Amino acid sequence: MREIRIAAAQGDATARIQSAIDGAAETPVTVILETGVHSSGGLRLASDVELRFEEGAELHFLPDYEAYAATPVRVIAEESDRAMISAEGACNIAITGKGRIFGGGAHFSLGEDTEMGTRIPAASRPRLLVLDGCANVTLSGFAAIHSPMWTLHVVNCAGVSIEGVAVDNDLSMPNTDGIVIDGCRDVTVSGCNISTADDGVVLKTSQRPDGSVVGTCERVEVSGCRVRSRSCALKIGTESFGDFRDITFVSCDVVDSNRGLGIFSRDGGVVENVLFRDIRIDCRETPAGFWGSGEAITINLVDRRPEKRPAGRISGVVIENISGTMEGAINLYAEHAGGIENVVLGEISLSQRPGAYGTALAYDLRPTPADLVTAPGQDGRANAWRKGADGRVIGLIDYPGGMPAIFARNVEGLKLEVVAIERPEPLPQGFNVKPVTIG
């Protein structure tokens, strides 16, 4: 494999880096970014290319959406249709080495929403990395810092290895999911360290603008990761147009997070054969601008588009050997009977305690149909939160009788096997005297 070395230099290095990548049209290429700072606009990877960072190399992306006009992507997320690094239909591609990639997320913020506890994001924000329809993908060793939007997004890819990658995003910047596995097969994510305002490691099955589904998520394993998330640390959904099968999350640490483990069905895809095992959890309340609040485990099913695509069923979920603390509850909710079935909670050891905000005293069904569009004069932000006529965020519902330790509604075949949840004495205001409520 031919090596092309690029020295750090002042000024825009886009053309130099892209020219080196394009050299793979003749023979496989390793493009090495040497120690120092490299500034760039959008880059497009090609087959048989490894982009390698020397230790101490930094890739700083330009803080201008127009710098990514040449790297559009075919899956729209929020209003994002561009990426800082992209590839489509490529084989044998890699990004490796102990360098750092800076996304400059603060440049894509319009200010602070103090009520909701988040930044106000610009409408047009590039994702840091989007790989679409690629095969034999390796991402390893590097750090991605302050992405403006989703960080590492792999779409309809097969044979993906993500190992030892770090993501360090602004904890108040919405939609900055760490690793997004979107309609991919045969994926391993291992030994990653993620800190972000949105979901940590999340599996999705998105829809393209033409209505086609990107693919199914199958045979995905996430292991040995440490995740800090203001949304949900280890998650399936909410984009769920295609199916999810044979998914495993094992031996992970969830620290200083909002929700811990989550499955969210909204768009018609079926979720089946999922395992969460050997996971330590520290879940804490968040302001109402974030979905959920302090829940160790959340599985919910809501028809986001009831007339077109009712939510797909969730079945065959095993959650075992989970320990730690939560300021919310374990929450299992299906909008209609039988939507969630055959769930096993085994060897669960948690401590439930009150939080600082009181937001965990309601369960959260966002995103709901109300989050799809902005009604005239309605207070809120699309796909985040809306307020109803009563001034309350739509989708937040008080637990009947107060917050229990475990809440289940319309769940069939639920098994609780050695579940111990320590609760404070006396119970704080707003807690249900019944530790388990099933309906």
What pLDDT digit, counting tens, does each position of 106-150 carry? 999 999 988 888 999 999 999 999 999 999 999 999 999 999 999
158-159-163 Cα angle (round to 5): 130
The CA distance from 320 to 318, in Å, is 6
Count of structural domains within the chain: 1
The CA distance from 232 to 257, in Å, is 7
Q: Is 276 exposed, middle or buried (0-12, 13-18, 19+ CB in 10 A)?
A: buried
438-305-156 Cα angle (round to 5): 100
Residue 193's beta-bridge partner residues?
A: 166, 226
Q: Note the pLDDT tens digit of each residue in 178-237.
A: 999 999 999 999 999 999 999 999 999 999 999 999 999 999 999 999 999 999 999 999
The CA distance from 210 to 72, in Å, is 16
Q: Is the separation of the CB atoms in 158 and 217 below 8 Å? A: no
Structure tokens at 46: 């090609």
Lowest mean pLDDT among 112-121, 166-175, 398-407: 112-121
| CATH number of the domain to which 425 belongs | 2.160.20.10
Three-state SS for 68-114 is HCCCEEEEEECCEEEEEEEEECCEEEEEEECCEEECCHHHHEEEEEC
> Which of 342, 336, 321, 364 shows the shortest CA–CA distance to 412?
342
First to last CA, the chain: 62
Q: Is the separation of the CB atoms in 117 and 287 below 8 Å? A: yes
Task: Give the SS3 label for residue 188.
Answer: strand
Boundaries of domain holding 100 = 2-438
Residue 362 predicted with pLDDT over 80:
yes
Give the pLDDT score at 377. 59
Positions of E strands within 230-293: 232-240, 244-257, 259-265, 271-283
Q: Note the pLDDT tens digit of each residue in 248-306.
A: 999 999 999 999 999 999 999 999 999 999 999 999 999 988 999 999 999 999 999 98
Give the pLDDT score at 376. 60
The CA distance from 298 to 340, in Å, is 12
Q: Note the pLDDT tens digit of each residue in 48-70.
A: 999 999 999 999 999 999 999 99
